[in-house]
Structures are given as structure tokens and as C-alpha cells.
Amino acid sequence: MVLNLVEAVAVVGLLWLATGVRVIKQYERGVVFRFGRVRRKAKEPGLRLLIPVADRLHKVNMQVVTLPVPTQEGITRDNVSVSVDAVLYFRVDDPIQALVHVQDYTFAILQVAQTSLRSIIGKSDLDDLLAGRESLHQGLELLLATPAVGWGVHIDRVEIKDVTLPDAMKRSMARQAEADRERRARIITADGELQASEKLAQAAREMGQDPGALQLRLLQTISEVAAEKTSTLVMPFPVEILRFFERATPPAPEKPTAERENRAPDENPVRD
């Protein structure tokens, strides 16, 4: 009878101790509250034995958490209405502070991220939101880091995902971009024409010093135009060739002068 009682007590004791066995995973830390008072050090991963009834274990995830920030509407410094959404990456550094100093650190970080994002929108220009996001990311990180440190949370980084503009602003930006591309195309075309004119002027000066080069260029142009069978070429006879034939032809003999008739002029008859 006594043996059966001892066995029963042993079994109950083992069952009671078994209720205090907890397993903490590698990416977790355990915060133990003993009669409501937090233990000074968090439990490391592995098999942990707690005192039943006296201890309460809270597991805290130490992984990096990806938290999307809902779309926030605001007016930029240059009076443009935009909608901006972001994404926040954070992790818990001190699990005890994350449990004791704030009721729900994830919800608290989300609220701070929303207010900080609206604040950044009001302090920034539209061009900064579209092109200078790196500085905005750093500003958001600084705004979030101040309260997060007191909650045992470390902000890894904050990034703006998308900036939504009104349709009228999109059309205006498209017209501006098109006008800018057209301006650059005209500048490039004018620059090319200027360079071509300078080269043509230089070639004209070189050919002007040597008439033979000018003739060769003329013949080359004629051959290029004549290659097109559908074209008709009409051109004047080169003056230089006429001068060549003029120099090559001997001078013609002078014609003899006509003899004058040596006749005395008729005298006017004298009237009586």
C-alpha cells in the first residue's frame, strides 16, 4: 500500500515537472516571468526547465521582420498631392525591453512608421520623392530609430516602395519629358550641322588651293550620281576644260587686210 502511494507520488511529480519543460528554437529567445517578475537574463535556445505554476515563458522572435507600411497620402513641399507606401525591416535586439517597455512593439513600430512617412512627405519636394530616395530612406530610419531603441528594437532599413501621382501631374510630367527630349534632339542636330559646315568649309579651302582636286571631286560626284539609273544629270561644261583646249590650240593666222581703193573722190561740179 505504501509502495503504491510512493509510486503514485513519483508519477505525479514527474508529470508536474514535465509541464515545466520548454523548447526554445534557434531564432527565439525566452523571457521568463517568475511570479510576475521578469528574470534578468533571457533564456537561450535549447531545452529549458521551468518551475511549474511559478514561471511563465514568453518567446520572442529575433528574426528580421518585414513590415509593409500602408499607403500614406500627403502634400509635398511644392504643393503636389501624392500617395506613398513603404516597407520597414526591423529586428528585436533586447527581448526583455521589447516585452516590458511596450505593449505590442510591432504595432508601435508600424504607427511610428506611418507618422514618420507623412512627415517626410510634407518636408520633401516631388523630385526628392521620385529621384532622391536614398536621403529620404536615411531620414525615415533616423525618425524611427529614436523610439525603437527604447523598445529594444533595431531598425535595419526603411525603403519607399511606390509614389502615386495624380493623373494630371503624370500628363504634365510626360509633356515636360517629351519637350526635354525634343530640345536635346534639336541641340544634337544643330551641333552636327555646325560640325559638318566647318568640315565642308575646310574641304572647300583645301580644294580651292588645287584646281585638280576640285575636278577630281566633280568627277567623283558625277560617278556617284550616274550610278542611279533613274536619275538624269544636267551639268554645265567645265570652264577649266575650255581653258585647257584654248591653251592647247595654236593661234590662227591673221587674215590679210583688204586693199583700199585709191580712187580720188568725185569732185563736185562747179555750177556756172
The pLDDT value recorded for residue 241 is 60
- Distance, CA of 46 to chain centre: 48
Residue 89 confidence (pLDDT) above 90: yes
The pLDDT value recorded for residue 264 is 47
The pLDDT value recorded for residue 271 is 47
Other Cβ atoms less than 10 A from the Cβ of 32: the count is: 21
46 pLDDT tier (thresholds 50, 70, 90): confident
Residues 143-161: what's their mean pLDDT?
Answer: 88
Contact yes or no for 148/109 (Cβ under 8 A): yes
Mean model confidence pLDDT for the chain: 79
Domain edges within the chain: 16-60, 65-165, 172-222
DSSP H helices, the chain, are 2-18, 95-100, 105-123, 126-130, 133-150, 167-209, 211-226, 239-248
Cα separation, 153 vs 7, in Å, equals 49
The pLDDT value recorded for residue 244 is 58
DSSP string, 111-160: HHHHHHHHHHHHHS-HHHHHT-HHHHHHHHHHHHHHHHHHTTEEEEEEEE
272 pLDDT tier (thresholds 50, 70, 90): very low
The pLDDT value recorded for residue 110 is 92
pTM attached to this predicted model: 0.60
Cα separation, 153 vs 72, in Å, equals 23
Domain 65-165 homologous superfamily, CATH: Band 7 domain (3.30.479.30)
Q: Is 136 left (phi over 0), alpha (psi -120 to 50) or beta?
A: alpha
Residue 58 confidence (pLDDT) above 60: yes
103 pLDDT tier (thresholds 50, 70, 90): confident
Of 53-57, 100-104, 251-255, the least confident: 251-255
Of 8-22, 50-64, 187-201, the least confident: 8-22
How far lies 159's CA from each of 88, 89, 132, in Å? Answer: 7, 9, 12
Residues 197-223: what's their mean pLDDT?
Answer: 74
Residues with Cβ within 8 Å of residue 193, at least 6 apart in sequence: none
Residue 254 confidence (pLDDT) above 60: no
Q: Which long-range contacts (CB under 8 A, 24 or more apart) does 36-42 make?
A: 38/96, 38/99, 38/100, 42/95, 42/96
Of 115-129, 137-151, 192-206, 246-260, the least confident: 246-260
How much of the chain exceeds pLDDT 90, in percent? 8
Other Cβ atoms less than 10 A from the Cβ of 146: the count is: 11
Residue 204 confidence (pLDDT) above 90: no
Residue 258 confidence (pLDDT) above 60: no
Longest dimension (CA), the chain: 210
Contact yes or no for 73/81 (Cβ under 8 A): yes
64 pLDDT tier (thresholds 50, 70, 90): very high
73 pLDDT tier (thresholds 50, 70, 90): confident
